[in-house]
Amino acid sequence: MNNPAPSIRENQRIPLRKSARKSSKATTLIRFSLFVLLLFSVSCSNPVEDEPDFAQLEWDEIRELSEGEDLTLMMWMGDPYINGYMNDYVVPEVKNRYNIDLNIVSGQGAQIVSTLMAEIEGGTRTSQIDLVWINGETFFQLRQIDALYGPFTGMLPNSTFVNYDNPFIGTDFQQPVDGYEAPWGNVQFTLIYNPGQVNSPPQTFQDFETWIVTNPGRFTIPTEFAGMTLLKSWMMTLNGSPEPFYGDFDEELYKSASRELWDRLNRLKPYFWRNGETFPASVAQMHQLFANGEISFTMSNNDGEVDNKIARGLFPETSRAYVPEHGTIRNSHYLGIPRKSAHKAAALVVINFLQSPEAQLEKMKPDVWGDGTVLSIPDLPEGWQQRFSRIPGRVQAPDRSEIRERALQEPGPEYMIRIFEDFRTYVVNR
């Protein structure tokens, strides 16, 4: 869902080629700034002046404080269905229920990190952002610079329904959320293909190698989040087991596994779309190439997305999503509150609404967003359990209970940060 800013872990990097040195220097400067800021933030972590200690307030008191507030949410806005859910459902609902004016602005990953970092460095009293849609490496970097408010999830009444015992929800890229981000949705990566062009979709990495070579120009990888998520699952399967990737970042493991992956991809590169001389910049571009029939596969981090793209008329009606036998990554996305937000009461109220059974149910409908819920359905009141059971069934999206058996945990955020940089260095720009 988002693009990362570079890691601060300079001492763990592997040597780069000459062509990558220029970007490496810029990356190093950013990392150094993050490091300096980390030291600075340790002594400057005071909350916004004069704000109450929300943890000591009753929920009704927080509700009262939120009344009439304006709230700015920064989030990725690259999908019309997600935008429709937010603009047509969430914005009017929080206005009608709580008199909160929710203003949504576009931004993700690196932009969120750089914006909040600049505000802290500049000594800005209050942030221009009150709420952020994040996960993984963005959460990691925001925690590094002490930019997030928390812990706060324990204040949310609806958080009692969140299934924190599920490791794919209570842990974000191997990081405990510790109350500094609230689970919002849970999804699993799928590949989407056209059965008219692919009789038997590849199930292993070796199957993909064979298919790509025998069908030149019909496959590619976007250079953004979804593409990197596929590369992580391939790196784990080439290693023989995903288990070593669970836990703290392992430099030697990464170097060994990624080297094998880059070698394999470079051998396949001439058979990629446009001979591997260029790669799509976004999964939206992938979707369009797939819709136009230029390529036979696209991909999604949301296992239910294929149905709403068919309903919208973008994908052919026969399009299908699946999880290969080697497994794909399943993860959650979250909502965080910047430490310098001046509207924390409103942020808490909106997050609580977004975690409510009503808002989660609406979001889960295939013709709305098709996003998986973070709620523990058996813990909901009986009436809500029945309503969730009556959500229209999937058509071409795989059954969630079946693909769960092939779910891989997200490795630590350092793997994502390194793959983003190294895929460009060792494959795209080679």
Cβ-contact 301, 370 below 8 angstroms:
no
Cβ-contact 344, 51 below 8 angstroms:
yes
Tokens of 153: 């999830």
pLDDT value at position 47?
57
Q: What is the pTM of this model?
A: 0.83
pLDDT value at position 20?
37
pLDDT value at position 17?
34
Give 3-state DSSP helix, strand, coil % of the chain, rounded to 5.
50, 15, 40
Tokens of 409: 């945990």
List average pLDDT for each run of 10 residues in the chain, which is 430 residues long: 34 32 42 48 55 96 98 94 96 98 95 96 96 96 97 97 92 95 97 95 97 98 96 96 95 97 98 98 95 97 92 92 97 97 98 98 92 95 95 86 93 95 96
pLDDT value at position 16?
32
Closest-CA residue to 340 (of 67, 145, 100, 105) = 145
What is the residue whose two structure tokens read 């990356």?
Answer: 27
